[in-house]
Homo-oligomer: A and B are copies of this chain.
């Protein structure tokens, strides 16, 4: 690995490698590996090299053209040799990069700083990029490992905002969530634990359920219940016993379908039910009585929208709080199951880089059932 500090005087931009597409479609058809030169550094821009970038389910939907957050198509990368258009977009929305050069007028950012992207659609499946300071968010990298940093901006931040923005949670309050072993769900458990907030965690039943329960407990989960147990007639009594009659203030849903409908029953008067995903791809049913008599509010959360409507200062503050709350450890793999994919080696051909990437894409199973694949960049 290169030193984290370089000097502008000796700086010569490297050739960049990226996974790009010039039109929407099936990723296997439209994705290409591409080599391009960074534009010269200007007084107000910076150059960075990516360290690690995950493949997330939303990235796939974005390439297919069915995700509301659009990628940035630009002429700056040059066209593909066999391309129909001059404009290309780089895939990927999340990742961590190290600043390798800054223009004279760039303040508050210096060579060696670790940054993540300030918005969706920047394109993170690449080795190098030119950017403006507004494209990136600097954070305290001493507390956090590479993989944690690469996967910090979407899932842990989603968990943090949902716990913070919809209801005021005090020590001893209760939150219920389904998909509790998802990346966001695990972050919810950790952040709630740091605030002494109790979590009731719904997971799908499975042969090794006791292992999963032990793992989630080790993160700080208060109670765990399977989707099968949730449907039992005894659940109402059980949850009442757990909460001691306190109302459950917040429900978090990334699953949809029957379990999401069932979960809504356990929210207390005037509770807030936040949907941020639909892993089951099933819509859920809302009984009018929940809305009218129990005053339950069914709302949605999307990190991309929050990022669009909030300042860089607010994002920096959030990142540093999340890092502190989740007590990341640099040396351990952290909270989510993942696999590293070494990618971007300058000696490999574009064909080879593309094949490697598509293999990783297959393994990720679009992220829902596979293991999260994280590109770890090589130089």
Q: Which residues of A contact B (CB under 8 A)?
A: 68, 256, 275-278, 283-302, 305
CA distance A288 to B260 in the complex (A): 11
19 new A-B contacts at CB < 8 Å, known A278-B289, A278-B292, A291-B300 = A275-B286, A275-B292, A276-B292, A277-B292, A278-B287, A278-B288, A283-B288, A284-B288, A285-B286, A286-B298, A290-B300, A291-B298, A291-B299, A292-B301, A293-B302, A294-B300, A295-B305, A297-B298, A298-B299
Q: A297-B298, A299-B297 are in contact. Are A291 and B275 (CB under 8 A)?
A: yes
A355 to chain B, nearest CB (A): 33
Closest to A69 in B: B293
Q: A293-B302, A297-B298, A300-B296 are in contact. Are A288 and B68 (CB under 8 A)?
A: no
A351 to chain B, nearest CB (A): 36
CA distance A372 to B326 in the complex (A): 59
Across the interface, which residues of B come within 8 angstroms of A302, CB to CB?
292-293, 295
A283 to chain B, nearest CB (A): 5
Closest to A296 in B: B300
Closest to A305 in B: B295
A58 to chain B, nearest CB (A): 11
Q: A275, A291, A301 — which one has the most chain B CB atoms within 10 A of its CB?
A: A291
A52 to chain B, nearest CB (A): 26
A285 to chain B, nearest CB (A): 5
Q: A295, A296, A300 — which one has the most chain B CB atoms within 10 A of its CB?
A: A300
CA distance A278 to B290 in the complex (A): 11
CA distance A278 to B288 in the complex (A): 6
CA distance A289 to B276 in the complex (A): 9
A143 to chain B, nearest CB (A): 30
Task: Count the copies.
Answer: 2
- In the complex, are the beta carbons of A256 and B295 less than 8 A apart? no
Closest to A291 in B: B300
CA distance A56 to B311 in the complex (A): 51
- In the complex, are the beta carbons of A300 and B288 less than 8 A apart? yes
Closest to A261 in B: B283
Across the interface, which residues of B come within 8 angstroms of A291, CB to CB?
275, 298-300
CA distance A12 to B332 in the complex (A): 86
Return 14 A-B CB contacts under 8 Å, by A number.
A276-B292, A277-B292, A278-B287, A278-B292, A284-B288, A286-B286, A286-B298, A291-B298, A292-B300, A292-B301, A293-B300, A294-B300, A295-B300, A298-B299
A247 to chain B, nearest CB (A): 15
Across the interface, which residues of B come within 8 angstroms of A295, CB to CB?
300, 302, 305
Across the interface, which residues of B come within 8 angstroms of A277, CB to CB?
288, 292
- In the complex, are the beta carbons of B287 and A283 less than 8 A apart? yes
Across the interface, which residues of B come within 8 angstroms of A68, CB to CB?
293
A287 to chain B, nearest CB (A): 5
Q: A287, A288, A292, A296 — which one has the most chain B CB atoms within 10 A of its CB?
A: A288
CA distance A293 to B275 in the complex (A): 10
A268 to chain B, nearest CB (A): 14
A369 to chain B, nearest CB (A): 18
- In the complex, are the beta carbons of B288 and A256 less than 8 A apart? yes
Across the interface, which residues of B come within 8 angstroms of A283, CB to CB?
285-288
CA distance A242 to B283 in the complex (A): 29
Q: A297-B297, A298-B298 are in contact. Are A286 and B284 (CB under 8 A)?
A: yes
